[in-house]
Structure 1
Amino acid sequence: MSTQKQRGFGIDIGGSGIKGAPVDLEKGRFAEERTRIATPQPATPEAVAEVVKEILDHYGWDGPFGCTFPAVVQHGVTRTAANVDDSWIDCDAAKLLRKVTGREAVLVNDADAAGVAEVEYGAAGPDAGVVLVTTLGTGIGSALVVRGTLVPNTEFGHIEVDGHDGESRAADSARDREELSWEEWGERLTRYYRTLENLVWPDLIVVGGGVSKKFDRWSEHVHIRTPITPAKLLNEAGIVGAALLAHRA
């Protein structure tokens, strides 16, 4: 495919849907409208791999592709499983995807893929230094990118803050569950981010997740030393980042 030097392909595996699209790697956005197929139930590795192949076939994509997954991913092996079948735990998923699809596959944690995309195309920029990307949703996903290089599989949503798992009190779901005001939630986020600041000393914090669209409503209540900014790529970040990582690989 002659356009593959400027294009990549990304797929995002989630608990409810599997989404994919070709990506314009110069502009950092979808080159065509994405396709979504419901995640098969049970979401076993073999069943999911067949859906991934179906999406690649739909676009006639025959080159390498990147694939996000909601788990710790070590060298193509999925070590955990969130919202998918437990048979993913310790599965050599990259090898399975290569076998089923007939294409080279690069597997990456979903938050890591989004973080790479934000640094390359979004809110951070190439000179930002140490960038911490956090997605505030049902839990807290995290990505740490140092001068453009990803430090994979950080699980900063699970750091202990005031005796609690960080995401159990600071995720957007905690705000909904406990009916916190923006100010009250801002206090929770202040404690969470201050703890992280003292561990990794980031130069910039980028916040993703649906609540990033309401950044102006809560950010004034977060009092930390690090500059903080909302993500720009929103729901496209995972697919874009996966495509870029596969292209680099």
Structure 2
Amino acid sequence: MDAFGVDIGGSGIKGAPVDLTRGVLAVERHKVLTPHPATPDAVADRVKEVLDHFGWSGGPVGATFPGVVTGGVTRTAANVDKGWIGRDAAALLGARIGAPVTVLNDADAAGVAEMTFGAGRGRTGTVIVLTFGTGIGSAVFTGGRLVPNTELGHLELDGHDAETRASSRAKEEGDLGWHHWARRVQKYLRHVEALFSPELFVIGGGVSRKADRFLPLIEGVSAEIVPAELENDAGIVGAAMAAAGSVPAPPPAAA
């Protein structure tokens, strides 16, 4: 069965139909730029644009969001407009495209895809999937079960939000070479490891395509570190899985 996945990021919004039996995109994904400011209505318009590109209608749709999501409501908005905070994103997107939409945290979506079809297959210990992009997303699994909305990119690192020091955007904006940036990623991974003692780190996001440029430079981390097998498609696959009911939805937040 196919479902449609949309991955909403701070810089781009991409989506495609997904073959859920194999965990791969059924066709090449379509990407548009995230509007600035990334208000709910402006982003909803771009999401509809992605679906319209494929003429998608009738099938289940899932969408990721770069922040905490509970019961379809977005609770934080670090890299998009603050108007998302407290917004019923599932209702907004559903109304815009004319079909029900399942919304979940972007890194959680990528993590579930990697645990099912990618680098985390068969691992039952503590696994942490980290996505490096505009920010740093995290998905924590123990015994194969997701702990939703961990948002470890906002841990403090050198007196700053970690993602402002070690994300892909920090590398680009600081014009950092691979060695310099790898030292920052290394410090971040050591910090996360000290808190959670995972057996495996899976490194995702767009930078995972160039894992050979920086992962061999990281030292002093006891956990195994591997690149995401689904690379930057993991969020799309995980969103489609959620739409098809393959991902347990986080419970609604208390009123």
* TM-score (structure 1 length as normaliser): 0.85
Distance (whole Å) between structure 2 residues aligned to residue 47 and residue 228 of structure 1: 37
For 2:159 and 2:199, locate their aligned partners in 1 and report how far apart those are by CA, in whole Å.
26
What is the aligned counterpart of 1:157 among 117, 131, 153? 153
Q: Could you say which residue in structure 1 is the equivalent of 2:253?
A: none
Structure 1 residue matching 2:223: 3-state secondary structure? coil
1:52 counterpart (47, 57, 62): 47
The answer to whether 1:146 aligns with 2:157 is no
Does the aligned pair in 2 maintain the 1:128–1:204 contact within 8 Å?
no
- Structure 2, unaligned runs of 5 or more: 247-255
Structure 1's 234 and 95: CA in aligned 2 closer, same or farther, altered over 3 A? same
Aligned-pair RMSD on alpha carbons? 2.5
Distance 2:92 2:243 in 1: 16
Question: Offset at 1:26?
Answer: 1.1
Does residue 88 (structure 1) correspond to residue 81 (structure 2)? The answer is: no
What secondary structure is seen at the aligned counterpart in 2 of 1:248?
A: coil
Alignment partner of 1:233 is 2:230: yes
Larger Rg: 1 or 2?
Answer: 1
**1:1-249 correspondence runs (5 A):** 6-39=1-34, 43-56=38-51, 58-178=54-174, 180-222=176-218, 223-248=220-245
**Corresponding letter in the other structure for 2:222:** R
Q: Distance in 1 between matches of 2:167 and 2:128?
A: 16
Compare 115-124 and 155-164 and name the one that shifted more: 155-164
Given the superposition, is the C-alpha separation of residues 195 and 63 from structure 1 closer, same or farther in structure 2, using an over 3 Å criterion?
same
Give CA deviations for 1:208-228 in whole Å, capped at 9, x if unaligned.
133323323322332211000
Stretches of 4+ aligned residues off by more than 6 angstroms: none
Cα pair 2:131 2:138 within 8 Å, conserved: yes
| 1:125-160 superposed Cα distances (whole Å, 9 cap, x missing partner) | 133432101122343221112333221111211212
The corresponding residue for 2:249 is: none
CA contact (8 A) 2:129 2:140 kept: yes
CA distance in 1, matches of 2:207, 2:26: 26
Structure 1 residue runs without a partner (length 5+): 1-5
Partner SS state of residue 144, structure 1 = strand
Cα offsets for 1:158-213 (capped at 9, x unmatched): 21234333223333344445555544433333322121112112121001133323
Q: Within 1, Cα distance between the matches of 2:181 and 2:118?
A: 25
Among the aligned pairs, what percent are the same residue? 55
Paired with 1:19 and 1:136, the residues of 2 have a C-alpha distance of 16
Distance change >3 Å, CA 186–CA 96, structure 1 → 2:
closer
The TM-score with structure 2 as length reference comes to 0.83
Q: Are 2:79 and 2:134, in contact at CA under 8 Å, matched by a contact in 1?
A: no
Q: Distance in 2 between matches of 1:232 and 1:77?
A: 30
